[in-house]
């Protein structure tokens, strides 16, 4: 057992239960935080949602959640997060529209890891600014989970990619430390804890969405035009999966902006539009992933719907490559 595995085993033993985990985590949060304050980076995904509720239960109003719209969110994401966390749970939530700032910062960057670093770095700056405005906030909350730690090369594992929420804080961050209430859990375990916490099923079963969001599904430079096209295509795909009740078959399904343009034809005239790729994967721990077999008629229907209704798109392809050799995300 390496260091990371030993640490996980100490927190999540063979006979762990979500209830016991919640109880001990709430105690651990209280012991770590005391009467200090926590600022939680909420992405809208299941990991940070579970963190938010765990922290809220542990420290109530000492927690401030910040949802930063970095312009790489899915359609309607900000609204949905507000409705659930502010509306239902009464969590202290601040939403910040930082789309312009992030896109300006990411201008010209095409390398996937540099994109991640750019977004991660800007995230930290935004939180620092919010923290300053809010007065003294000692801790930064994060929804890091165990696969993030493994894939970032911690504990003797080989680094696959740099996850922006792993690796600690820069020295000048201004926070005393990190609170990471789910960092030794795999995704399915996070969901179990979420259910036990009473988070609505729609939120708990929601597919995971990476911190850098659509940035890792939008190949090449990030532009508002490409991201808007991707958002619309992704929305059509997700809606059709839900309508056909196929959404339970895949742990992750999404559209990718390939950054390739191809020739098409619309109303008898030539078009030159973007190629969108679609991907639906089944996976237990996200370290390996298989392809979900969707009905062929459904695949054709969705491709056609996206190519005809999403402006700027005239071709849709399906990605049927498992992980490995591909990763789940395209970047």
Please report, as ranges, the residues that interact with ligand XMP according to CB under 6 A: 116, 161, 163-165, 208, 210-212, 216, 252, 286, 323, 327-329
C-alpha 309/C-alpha 304 separation (Å) is: 8
Q: What are 220's two structure tokens?
A: 């090449």
C-alpha 139/C-alpha 324 separation (Å) is: 37
Q: Minimum distance from CB of 71 to ligand XMP (Å)? A: 16
What would you report as the CA-atom Rg of the chain, rounded to the nearest whole angstrom? 20
Would you call 210 helix, strand, or coil by DSSP?
A: coil
Sheet containing 63-69: order of strands: 93-97, 63-69, 38-42, 139-141, 177-179
Q: Minimum distance from CB of 11 to ligand XMP (Å)? A: 20
Q: Minimum distance from CB of 197 to ligand XMP (Å)? A: 20
Q: Minimum distance from CB of 256 to ligand XMP (Å)? A: 11
**Closer CB to ligand XMP, 41 or 316, in the complex:** 41
**Closer CB to ligand XMP, 186 or 274, in the complex:** 186
Give the number of other CB atoms < 10 A from CB of residue 184.
22
C-alpha 132/C-alpha 63 separation (Å) is: 15
Q: Minimum distance from CB of 141 to ligand XMP (Å)? A: 14
**Closer CB to ligand XMP, 59 or 166, in the complex:** 166
Q: Minimum distance from CB of 292 to ligand XMP (Å)? A: 14
Q: Minimum distance from CB of 252 to ligand XMP (Å)? A: 6
Nearest alpha-carbon partner for 29 in 138, 165, 136: 138
**Closer CB to ligand XMP, 57 or 249, in the complex:** 249
Handedness of CA 80, 202, 93, 234 (dihedral sign): negative
C-alpha 191/C-alpha 61 separation (Å) is: 24
In a 13 Å sphere around the CA of 171, the CA atoms on its Cβ side amount to: 0
**Closer CB to ligand XMP, 113 or 293, in the complex:** 113
**Closer CB to ligand XMP, 120 or 273, in the complex:** 120
Give the number of other CB atoms < 10 A from CB of residue 119.
26
**Closer CB to ligand XMP, 25 or 251, in the complex:** 251
């Amino acid at each position: 057992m390496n260091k990371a595995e030993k640490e996980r085993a100490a927190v999540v033993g063979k006979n762990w239960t979500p209830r016991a985990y919640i109880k001990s985590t709430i105690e651990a949060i209280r012991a770590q935080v005391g009467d200090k304050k926590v600022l939680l980076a909420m992405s809208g995904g299941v990991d940070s949602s579970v963190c938010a509720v765990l922290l809220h239960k542990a420290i109530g109003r000492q927690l401030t959640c910040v949802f930063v719209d970095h312009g790489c969110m899915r359609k309607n994401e900000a609204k949905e997060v507000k409705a659930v966390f502010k509306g239902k749970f009464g969590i202290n939530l601040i939403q910040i529209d930082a789309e312009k700032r992030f896109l300006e910062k990411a201008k010209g960057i095409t390398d996937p890891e540099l994109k991640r670093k750019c977004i991660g770095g800007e995230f930290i700056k935004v939180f620092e600014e919010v923290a300053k405005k809010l007065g003294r906030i000692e801790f930064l909350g994060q929804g890091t989970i165990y696969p993030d730690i493994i894939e970032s090369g911690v504990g003797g594992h080989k680094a696959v990619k740099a996850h922006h929420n792993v690796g600690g804080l820069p020295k000048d961050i201004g926070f005393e430390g990190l609170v990471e209430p789910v960092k030794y859990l795999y995704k399915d375990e996070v969901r179990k804890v979420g259910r036990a916490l009473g988070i609505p099923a729609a939120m708990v079963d929601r597919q995971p969405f990476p911190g850098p969001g659509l940035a890792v599904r939008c190949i090449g430079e990030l532009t508002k035009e490409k991201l808007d096209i991707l958002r619309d295509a992704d929305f059509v795909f997700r809606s059709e999966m839900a309508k056909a009740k196929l959404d339970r078959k895949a742990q992750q399904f999404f559209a990718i902006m390939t950054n390739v343009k191809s020739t098409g034809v619309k109303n008898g005239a030539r078009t030159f539009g973007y190629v969108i790729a679609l991907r639906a994967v089944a996976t237990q721990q996200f370290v390996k992933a298989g392809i979900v077999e969707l009905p062929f008629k459904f695949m054709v229907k969705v491709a056609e719907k996206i190519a005809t209704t999403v402006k700027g798109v005239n071709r849709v392809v399906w990605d049927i490559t498992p992980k490995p050799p591909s990763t789940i995300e395209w970047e």
